[in-house]
Amino acid sequence: MEWYHVGLGLLALLVVFIGIGLPIPFALALASMPFLLHIQGWSTALVSTELKLWGVWIDYVLLAVPLFVFLGELIGRSNIGANLYQLMHRGVRVKGSAAYGSIAACAGFGAVCGSSMVGSLTIGGVALPEMTKLGYNKRLSSGVLAAGGTLSVLIPPSLILLFYGIVTDTSIGELFIAGVIPGLLLTLLFAVTVFIWGRMYPSHIPGADNAPRPSVREFLIAFGPIFLIGLVITVSIYAGIATPTEAAAVSALLTTILAFAVGGLTVRGFNEALFATMRTMGYLGLLLSAGILFGFVLTYYRVPQEVSELFLSYNLSPVMVLAMVIVFYVILGMFLEPVSMTFITLPTIYPLMQAAGYDLIWFGIVYTITMEIAVLTPPVGLNLYVIQGISRGTIPIGDVIKGCLPFLACMVLLIAMVIAIPGIALWLPSIMK
């Protein structure tokens, strides 16, 4: 069987299964099975499938995923995220402090949680009612919070960077540290966007809030937990003290202690965080397992390598290849969520980028930024519906989308900057070696 028969067959089956409403993990697995049976026969394929699925569930590196998910759920169900937003908002008495505070709180939350949706849900659940009460324009407030949640995807630890490292077999620690400067730069671009918005439409942003400044005790309670959790993750991984999995375990334990001690977490909230983590991992675990089968079939028939050779045979410039890949992901992101895209497409795309001469750490950052764009583009922009849901229908989905457009422009600008100046992503990892 030729490689292009396999590639087109997998794609066709996948489209059919997703089109009839089958969940993506099952669609991936079922699309893989006919080709797996062709390779090994029924009995051998059954045994090898079981071994591959079991290998995913006992993989030490993958253990970091549920731990980081659990960490984010704990913060979301305690007052740690709410306290951080209040600190950022009340601590700065300038016009637009609630918008700037939302961006800063999302960035701080991103330093301890790698989920975009959890970031928007946690900070947005506190900030959106406050900004509405203060008189912020609905498009601005919803756009700030939907886009702000994407900072959790770029600022480490990031689940997308973690999955990218697993699929491409690149250093997760280097990927995490490569995301620091682009993440901070994107935070700054978001803040500049709010400033320009305020200058263009002064009525959209109320004057400075005269709420009392937080006391030293309130500052420590709000900032201390995020600082400690972020410090444990950052120092332990980048100093070589612990692997990402070990850092995730220690930070999850620390988060549990802090959430109970200063975050107001209840036993009921703790149980809800556990069950929410299990529900999330039930889906992600199936997706990871199915992705392994899908990737095995692709690799066996050398589909990624053949696709790379096909593209290179046309003598396309590396820039042209990169542009085509970015456009492909922006379009695909309108219909699929980032984790699914990672396991469906990345096994084929990353060998192509490697053959075109791009550094995989650098491409990981470009890829992650395109995933941020994906969660803000309709019709399947997860963060859009999270913010609209928080508003309880008071903000139409159209206003949320329009509010995100300037921030989407910031992400496009950041991609251009990372392409023009690769050191934005590669400088920090290079000096840490």
The 10s digit of each residue's pLDDT in 202-218 is 888 887 666 667 777 77
Residue 277 lies in a domain: no
Residue 76 lies in a domain: yes
**Mean pLDDT calculated for residue range 111-119:** 74
Residues 183 and 195 both lie in one domain = yes
Residues 13 and 42 both lie in one domain = yes
Residues 203 and 349 both lie in one domain = yes
**Other residues' Cβ atoms within 10 Å of the Cβ of residue 156:** 26
Q: Which of 109-113, 238-242, 353-357 has the highest mean pLDDT?
A: 353-357
Tokens at 70, concatenated: 């659990």
pLDDT at res. 93: 67
**Mean pLDDT calculated for residue range 256-268:** 89
Residue 278 lies in a domain: no
CA 299 to chain centre: 26
Residues 102 and 151 both lie in one domain = yes
Residues 336 and 194 both lie in one domain = yes
**Other residues' Cβ atoms within 10 Å of the Cβ of residue 54:** 11
Residues 318 and 426 both lie in one domain = yes
The number of residues in the chain equals 433
Query: Which of 87-96, 228-237, 259-268 has the lowest average pLDDT?
Result: 87-96
Residue 272 lies in a domain: no
Of 274, 300, 326, the position where a domain reaches its end is: 300
* Domains held by the chain: number: 2
Please check the confidence at residue 415 and state whether its pLDDT lies above 90.
Answer: yes
Q: How far apart are CA 126 and CA 357, in angstroms?
A: 45
Binning pLDDT at 50, 70 and 90, where does residue 109 land? confident
pLDDT at res. 92: 63
Residues 320 and 294 both lie in one domain = no
Please check the confidence at residue 419 and state whether its pLDDT lies above 90.
Answer: yes
CA distances from 249 to 63, 145, 403 (A): 9, 29, 37
| Residue 372: partners with Cβ closer than 8 Å, 6 or more residues away | 116, 150, 153, 154, 411
Phi, psi of 12, rounded to the nearest 5 degrees: -65, -45
Location of structure tokens 């299990």? 278
Handedness of CA 137, 143, 145, 151 (dihedral sign): negative
Query: Which of 29-38, 263-272, 403-412 has the lowest average pLDDT?
Result: 29-38
CA 91 to chain centre: 28
pLDDT at res. 409: 94
The 10s digit of each residue's pLDDT in 312-328 is 778 778 888 899 999 98
Residue 30 lies in a domain: yes
Residues 256 and 296 both lie in one domain = no
Residues 141 and 244 both lie in one domain = yes
Binning pLDDT at 50, 70 and 90, where does residue 368 land? very high
Residue 154 lies in a domain: yes
pLDDT at res. 209: 62
Residue 274 lies in a domain: no
Residues 337 and 258 both lie in one domain = yes
pLDDT at res. 208: 63
CA distances from 381 to 73, 136, 286, 374 (A): 21, 23, 22, 6
Please check the confidence at residue 344 and state whether its pLDDT lies above 90.
Answer: no
> What percent of the chain stands above pLDDT 90?
17
**Predicted TM-score of the model (pTM):** 0.85
Residues 117 and 106 both lie in one domain = yes
The 10s digit of each residue's pLDDT in 212-261 is 677 777 778 878 888 888 888 888 887 778 888 888 899 899 999 999 98
Handedness of CA 127, 130, 135, 138 (dihedral sign): positive
Binning pLDDT at 50, 70 and 90, where does residue 362 land? very high
More confident residue, 5 or 368: 368
pLDDT at res. 122: 77
Q: Which domain holds residue 360?
A: 63-265+301-432
Residue 315 lies in a domain: yes
Of 300, 324, 352, the position where a domain reaches its end is: 300
The 10s digit of each residue's pLDDT in 48-80 is 777 767 776 777 777 888 888 888 888 878 888
pLDDT at res. 426: 92
The pLDDT mean for the chain works out to: 84
Residues 254 and 212 both lie in one domain = yes
Please check the confidence at residue 188 and state whether its pLDDT lies above 90.
Answer: yes
